[in-house]
Amino acid sequence: MPPASDPLIGNSVYISTIQQSWCTSNAWHKSFAMWQKQSMEAMEDAGAESAIARFRDFKIYMDPRHQFEGNLEPVNLGPFDTLGPFPGPVVTSPSPLPSEDWDYSRIVIPNDGAPGVNGEYYLHMHGADLSGVINSKGMVKGYADSRSFPQSPDPVAPQVEIGWMSEMFDVGNNSGDVTDLAQYNNRLLPYDQNDYPGADVNYVYPENKAWCVNRSTVGVNTFNLGGMVAPCGLIRIDQLFSEGGVVDQPLIIEIELLPGDDRGYLLGNMQDM
């Protein structure tokens, strides 16, 4: 067994979600509008509005890693047939029935790279565009690429200390330093105007919501990570290490949903972040 001072003894987990920011909120809203507009226009042109899939919904990935590794499947937590808060059968009991038709949304880019060639792409919130094994477009990156940004430096102006309007109030005081500061100090943007948080360059990772470290390798320890909002219902779980000598330490996560008015659950609108 590793010594007691070994930082990898026990278990550690990070819980992350889509970033809660104006970038992701606006990126989701605009991506959804573009996805819906493309399909509706095509169906209207074909005169086939009534043939639109009934359970069609806007389903996205959190980031490229979500696409490559897929979703976690829940397990059945009962009935218990042994003593203890988390008996052995928990991790081996049958899982609930898997989800049925859950196709992630896709967009089509006509003449993609060559005339007459259509490219189909999934959508993910954080990260750069992907091509190859998985074709997918970054939503925050796409939103950033679709917007104009402020002029920098702002304003672009002549030397205001020269001219009759300036000379009107020149009563002997030297105000050149003051006008220089007012004109040239802080005229540049305090951020990279084309590198949106959550896109392909500026902090491409999900937003960390909670974390815990269990340093014990004996018995069962329980941690309550508190409440949070999970945009689009997506939660990322990173188990950083799981060591306790010869046998890895299991990790069981239970998610409680708050009651509310949306089909019995409390949900937040993407536009309200």
- Residues in CB range of 205: below 8 A, 6 or more apart: 16, 63, 126
Total residue length of the chain: 273
**SS3 letters for 93-111?**
CCCCCCCCCCCCCEEEECC
The pLDDT of residue 167: 56
| pLDDT tens-digit readout, 24-40 | 999 999 999 998 888 88
140-152 mean pLDDT: 83
- Mean of pLDDT values over 60-72: 90
In the chain the first and final C-alpha atoms are separated, in Å, by 47
What are the sequence ranges of the domains in the chain?
A: 10-148+195-272, 151-188
Model pLDDT for residues 39-56, shown as the tens digit of each residue: 888 888 888 777 777 778
Q: Is the pLDDT of residue 5 over 50?
A: no
Which residues lie across from 16 on neighbouring strands?
208, 236
**pLDDT at residue 1 in the model:** 30
Going by pLDDT thresholds of 50, 70 and 90, the confidence category of residue 263 is confident
Q: Which two tokens stand for residue 36?
A: 């819906």
pTM across the whole model = 0.74
Question: Is the distance from CB of 202 to CB of 196 less than 8 angstroms?
Answer: yes
Alpha-carbon distance of 260 to 272, in angstroms, equals 16
Alpha helices by DSSP H, listed for the chain, are 22-45, 64-69, 139-145, 164-167, 176-184
Does pLDDT of 2 surpass 50? no
Please determine, for residue 60, whether its predicted confidence score (pLDDT) is greater than 90: yes
203 CB-contact burial (10 Å; exposed 0-12 / middle 13-18 / buried 19+): middle
According to the model, what pLDDT value does residue 95 have?
62
pLDDT at residue 77, as a whole number: 62
Confidence at residue 16, expressed as pLDDT on a 0 to 100 scale: 92
CB 125 within 8 A of CB 198: yes
Q: Sign of dihedral through CA atoms 142, 232, 49, 100?
A: positive
Which of 83, 176, 65 is CA-nearest to residue 124? 65
pLDDT computed for residue 131 by the predictor? 85
Q: What b/e sequence results for 172-200 when a residue is b if at least 16 CB atoms lie within 10 Å of its CB, and e otherwise?
A: eeeeeeeeeeebeeeeeeeeeeeebbbbb
Point out the least confidently predicted range of 31-35, 126-130, 133-137: 133-137
The C-alpha atoms of residue 243 and residue 4 are separated, in whole angstroms, by 12
Residue-wise pLDDT tens digits, 153-210 = 776 666 655 566 555 565 565 666 666 767 677 777 777 778 888 888 888 889 988 8
- Mean pLDDT value across residues 240-269: 74
pLDDT in the model for residue 26: 93
User: Per-residue confidence at 124, pLDDT binned at 50, 70, 90?
Assistant: very high
Instruction: Give the separation between CA 64 and CA 123, rounded to whole angstroms.
Output: 9
The token pair that represents 89 in the structure block: 């059968």
Is the Cβ–Cβ distance between 196 and 24 less than 8 Å? Answer: no
Best CA proximity match to 236, nearest among 259, 215, 273, 208: 208
Q: What is the pLDDT of residue 72?
A: 81
Has residue 217 got a pLDDT over 50? Answer: yes
Predicted local confidence at residue 163, as pLDDT: 62
Residue 163, by phi and psi: left (phi above 0), alpha (psi -120 to 50) or beta? left
Whole-number average pLDDT of the chain: 77
